[in-house]
Structure 1
Amino acid sequence: MHRLILAISLLVSLMMYTSCTNQPTERNPELAAFFDTYFEERLKLFPLEATTQGDNRYNDQLPNDISAEFIANTRQFFTNNLQQLQTFDRERLSDEDKVSYDIFKREMEVQLEGLKFHQEYIPFQQFWGLPLTFGQLGSGAGAQPFKTVKDYEDWLKRVSAFKAWGDTAIANMRQGLATNLVLPASLVVKMIPQMNELVVNEPVQSLFYGPIKTMPADFSPEEKNRLTAAYKKAIQEDIVPTYRKLSDFLKNEYLPKARASSGIDMVPQGSALYTYLVKTWTTTDKTPEEIYQTGLTEVARIRSEMEKVKQQVGFTGTLDEFFTHLKNDPKFYPYKTPEDVLDAFRSIQAKIEPNLKTMFTKTPKTPFEIRQTEKFREASASAEYNQGSADGSRPGIFYVPIPDAAKFNITSGMESLFLHEAIPGHHYQISLQQENTNLPKFQRFSWYGAYGEGWALYCESLGIELGLYTDPYQYMGALGDEMHRAVRLVVDVGLHAKKMTREQAIKYMMDNEPISEDGATAEIERYMAIPGQALSYKIGALKIRELRSKYEQQLGNKFSLAAFHDEFLKDGCMPLDVLERKMDAWAERVK
């Protein structure tokens, strides 16, 4: 009997082992083909995405992506792809394919859900939208290439389509006025000068004349003359009239009817829209109230850290007085030229390079540059990272706005800013994702704020390990940046779900971090323009730190920080719940 039980036990074990080993380890070729087809169709639908990725096949196309016809096509596209995905049995897929399946399914569902809120009635604002992106593309310094005659002709076709987009934007905003889906007046007044900045009397004064000034020397004289004339005509007849029309509409028709309220909850379906945006940006099911409470807790924790720095440097006043000291003391304003500021960031890069090797086994091949933000958008821009192309032909660029170098404050968190926007933050994460040709393309070029911004904020917390924050004022700057993201949880939810006014939000921000009134105003107005987006940073960073701590405890001396970082970055952006399942599986393999 004992032998029979033993035999049965061995047989059951063998069957279980066989069942486990039958789990596919390779990617499903039919699923891969489906994902490839989706990606190709998506690039045709959204050609600006292709341009950003360095795929130049659709550089002459600019669909009217806020028109009713385009939105109907988009709805059908996402519906069809969701239905096709569900023909695959998820349980019969490899672990990597399950990750891809889960990301894709969620993406289709979220995109479809968002269409019911008519966000096309607010087609742009002061922070982002095609009128601003168009300036970057057409300047010759952005993602749109200007290397061949065809490149120059491609752009002219986009210019002619921009005129139609502008007319639709005005019609949509009129529809928004009719249905009370409108922007706050305090944002509209910022949009009008942005439009006016691109209205010029002479084409040669235009930002869009930039590519003519830098035309390749190998173009023939005939080509140069023809393209110069065509660009002058396009600027005079298409670009300037469109920006003038947008400016006049905003000033004369839209601003008088813009709303006095600050939060999105004050428009029709506003509360439901905010709940949707919170889910979209955080990739969690956390409620606005949960996030608000997390924000209050984090603000209190970081304030206590700031008090310690204040004591360390021997400042005897209150924390508010310390903030004022950091803003006003002339010793914190050492720069005279924009190049001085850029050199300071280059020195930060040089300082961290030796320690990066202990934290990352895999690093990007994509080149990296530090540049000053272009003048036309510098006044209202934040420091930012513009991704390079997947093939490395266009570098990743860390843009720094420097309207006046003499007003650039070294306690603003330069070291933490570099870790976040540049290396190892956005540059490592986005470049490694794009360079991983084993991923389906929709994953290689996807973006989730909670993952991407969460990673960048988590990278700020690596400062001490990377050899930074040795100066208490730079550490105070890093705490200021962390506080900034914690404050966002309070004010974003406050504005859009708790009736907090713009002025109350500005005051709360200034009470809790060393920021000027102009800086706080620009930030709060950004959150008013893109509700929920600012939540993604802190929610993502808290999850990454939570996972790291969990695996450090679980794995003990088997835990490798470089291996953790490599695994985290390997499969690119994904929702946080998908990420945790993936990382848990990695920890099991390490065990």
Structure 2
Amino acid sequence: MIKTVFKRLGIGVLSLAVVAGGFAAHEWHADKPVMLRAFLDRTLIKMALDSPETLTSLGVLESLGINGHNAELDDDSPEKGERMLKELLEAREVLLSYDDASLSDDERLSKDVALYLLNFMEQSKQFRYHNYPVNQLFGIQNGYPSFMQAKHPVTSVEDAEHYLSRLKKVERKFQQNLRGLKLREQLGIIPPRFVIDRVLEEMTAFVATPVTENILYTSLDERLSALDSLDPKEKQRLLAVADASIRDYVHPAYQLFIDYFVALKPKAGSDHGFWHLPNGDKAYQASLQLFTSTDYSADEIHQLGLAEVDRIQAQMLTILAGQGIDTDAGFTAAIATLAADSRFYFEDSEAGRQQILAEYRRILDEINAGLGGAFTIRPQAGMEVVRIPEFKEKTSPGAYYEPPSLDGARPGRFFANLYDIRATPKYSMRTLAYHEGIPGHHFQIAVAMELEGLPFFRRMSPFTAYVEGWALYAEQVAWELGFQQDPLDNLGRLQAELFRAVRLVVDTGIHAKRWSRERGIDYMQANTGMATSDVVAEIERYIVMPGQATSYKVGMMKILALREKAKDALGEQFELAAFHDAVLKNGALPLSILEQVVDDYITTTQGLAKAG
């Protein structure tokens, strides 16, 4: 679980090592820098400098002619993780030594946010191995090729040589991960059998794919072909080395994992919730705290979900009845009638899939041009819509967002899953585009990354309830602003919100109330009307990411409650754009600290009104 926090920080741990050059020597080397921001930035810069893959993802050093890190891979050993935890807990003690009275308001907020993270690490360190690092959704087995395809730059022969270097070093990285898996096995933390089946299927297919069709080969081939000045013989040399490296280094690395999971499978069971692990109930409560940034119990979240499911279904039935659909047989039957209508799907072909991507782009262009006075802060980074790579789309979620690079070279990306065409009804597309793109994840994450004057960690803060709560809130804002005037588009929005409410029920059901995987599937299928392929993928996601799915609805409801609080307090002085500025201009925050920020915005606005 602790590693989850590390990974979320590591996505962009920092905006750049270049800032290190701006630190005075004392601030860089002192046990306690004079400036709090210097200490916070230095801590994360040092972490970034120790992570070649983070430096590549940030994509800033390359503009300075520094790119040696692109030939290296991260140290993923358990020992490295323990050292990182030790260093961060030591940083917590230094942070506590800064006197609040000597800090500005912004500095106190930064200290509070940093302490929230570090205190959680201290309190939950006993659960740092309560996770399944290799599963059907994520892990080195699909993260490595995705990283090489999407993040590793290939704009020169030198970049390509670095790419080849990373191919040759991957076996060591797999060996380091394998040691972590064996440590968890010794602690009794073994994934359910279906997880092992999924990853074995994925890795076996990866190794069985002809080398020249492997994404690690084709990605390099495509990008070398785009280099106009590259000599054809040089290209063939590089591709020949890639071919040999995939055979000699990549395939053996995957075989290490295949052999391990084949041997592990007989030890795995069919209990799917965290409750069955050692100290599993406490580990799950810690996970709920991590992802919701609240102290809500599993039972409180479960009951909240049941109530929200009833409320949202009632609204959906009203819309369905208004569309002439028979609702007498109940919610599930009514949704099934709608889902069976072929009018709401694109053609199940490559042309149809390209039409889906084009429609997403049209929807996003439309809302980006029409947000008007609802937002003052807007991201400068661009955004593109792309298909989830086919090699992993079968077990991937319906969509996800990938942030832009800090230098602007790589835009934000909305990845759409096109595996099952019936998982993308036309009436749900607007809502999904608003969630992943504008004004959802792209607005919030890209804006946060571009904020000036904040410590870098606050531009990349890993508070899921805020980040996902904002994206779900953005779906409702788009509807309120008139972008879903078709009742069926609004039905799609409500179905997406219902989906998040159901998550509250099934996540807590599986991990705290001892539901089976099958019971979770049955409940979600009966109460959402989603495509079966999506339901199975979602339930299996919750099993390997306990608590994460509860963050969306908890965060959304908190942001909506804070908006109502601001409206009630400010009356005619309330402006939606100003409220959005208050929520967005500080980066992601724990929900309790977000409430303090909104309270300050209310007080400040009231003061200005009185002064005026």
TM-score by length of 1: 0.90
Matched residue SS, 2:384? strand
2:588 corresponds to which of 566, 573, 576: 573
1:211 correspondence with 2:220: yes
Change (3 A) 1:180 1:49: same
Q: Distance in 1 between matches of 2:124 and 2:145?
A: 27
Query: 2:415 maps to which residue?
Result: 399
Q: Distance in 1 between matches of 2:461 and 2:513?
A: 32
2:422, 2:531 within 8 Å by CA — same for their partners in 1? Answer: no
2:52 corresponds to which of 47, 53, 62: 47
Query: 1:116 maps to which residue?
Result: 126
Q: Distance in 1 between matches of 2:477 and 2:347?
A: 26
Q: Distance in 2 between matches of 1:76 and 1:249?
A: 29
Q: Distance in 2 between matches of 1:407 and 1:181?
A: 33
Q: Distance in 1 between matches of 2:469 and 2:376?
A: 21
Query: 1:8 maps to which residue?
Result: none
Deviations 1:287-344 (A, max 9, x none): 1111111111111111111111122112123221111112212222243521111122
Q: Distance in 2 between matches of 1:222 and 1:478?
A: 53
Change (3 A) 1:393 1:494: same
* Amino acid in structure 2 at the alignment position of 1:540: G
1:349 correspondence with 2:381: no
Matched residue SS, 1:398? strand
Query: 1:390 maps to which residue?
Result: 406
* Amino acid in structure 2 at the alignment position of 1:283: S
* Amino acid in structure 1 at the alignment position of 2:597: K
Change (3 A) 1:394 1:415: same
Alignment of 1:468-483 (within 5 A): 468-483=483-498
Q: Which moved more, 1:227-236 or 1:35-44?
A: 227-236
2:155, 2:223 within 8 Å by CA — same for their partners in 1? Answer: no
1:462 corresponds to which of 453, 474, 477: 477
Query: 2:316 maps to which residue?
Result: 306
Q: Which moved more, 1:575-584 or 1:522-531?
A: 575-584
1:352, 1:466 within 8 Å by CA — same for their partners in 2? Answer: no
Q: Distance in 1 between matches of 2:365 and 2:146?
A: 29
CA-CA distance at 1:120 after TM superposition: 7.3
Q: Which moved more, 1:42-51 or 1:181-190?
A: 42-51
1:268 correspondence with 2:270: no
1:231 corresponds to which of 236, 239, 242: 242
Matched residue SS, 1:273? helix
Q: Distance in 1 between matches of 2:471 and 2:464?
A: 10
1:452 correspondence with 2:467: yes
Query: 1:60 maps to which residue?
Result: 71
* Amino acid in structure 1 at the alignment position of 2:114: F
Deviations 1:522-558 (A, max 9, x none): 1000000110110111111011000001001111111
Q: Which moved more, 1:306-315 or 1:196-205?
A: 196-205
1:62, 1:162 within 8 Å by CA — same for their partners in 2? Answer: yes
Query: 1:243 maps to which residue?
Result: 254
2:388, 2:418 within 8 Å by CA — same for their partners in 1? Answer: yes
2:420, 2:533 within 8 Å by CA — same for their partners in 1? Answer: no
CA-CA distance at 1:229 after TM superposition: 3.0
1:561 corresponds to which of 565, 568, 576: 576
2:185 corresponds to which of 162, 165, 177: 177
Alignment of 1:244-393 (within 5 A): 244-250=255-261, 252-317=262-327, 318-335=330-347, 337-382=352-397, 383-393=399-409
Query: 1:22 maps to which residue?
Result: none
Q: Which moved more, 1:105-114 or 1:315-324?
A: 105-114
1:87 correspondence with 2:91: no
Q: Distance in 1 between matches of 2:579 and 2:109?
A: 18
1:335, 1:408 within 8 Å by CA — same for their partners in 2? Answer: no
**Larger Cα Rg: Structure 1 or Structure 2?**
1
* Amino acid in structure 2 at the alignment position of 1:47: P
Q: Distance in 2 between matches of 1:442 and 1:579?
A: 16
2:305, 2:501 within 8 Å by CA — same for their partners in 1? Answer: yes
CA-CA distance at 1:49 after TM superposition: 2.9
Query: 2:436 maps to which residue?
Result: 421
* Amino acid in structure 2 at the alignment position of 1:30: M
Query: 1:146 maps to which residue?
Result: 154
CA-CA distance at 1:488 after TM superposition: 0.6
1:156 corresponds to which of 150, 164, 171: 164
Q: Distance in 2 between matches of 1:74 and 1:268?
A: 24
Q: Distance in 2 between matches of 1:555 and 1:335?
A: 50
CA-CA distance at 1:269 after TM superposition: 1.5
Q: Which moved more, 1:541-550 or 1:181-190?
A: 181-190
Change (3 A) 1:505 1:556: same
Q: Which moved more, 1:340-349 or 1:533-542?
A: 340-349
TM-score by length of 2: 0.87
Deviations 1:475-507 (A, max 9, x none): 111111000100111111111111111111111
1:34 correspondence with 2:39: yes
Change (3 A) 1:94 1:102: same
Deviations 1:111-158 (A, max 9, x none): 34443224277322111122211111222xx12211123322333333
1:432 corresponds to which of 447, 461, 483: 447
* Amino acid in structure 2 at the alignment position of 1:241: P
* Amino acid in structure 1 at the alignment position of 2:45: E
1:291, 1:489 within 8 Å by CA — same for their partners in 2? Answer: yes
1:517 correspondence with 2:532: yes
Matched residue SS, 1:370? strand
Query: 1:105 maps to which residue?
Result: 115
Task: State the identity as a percent.
Answer: 32
2:288, 2:547 within 8 Å by CA — same for their partners in 1? Answer: yes
Matched residue SS, 1:362? coil
* Amino acid in structure 2 at the alignment position of 1:272: K
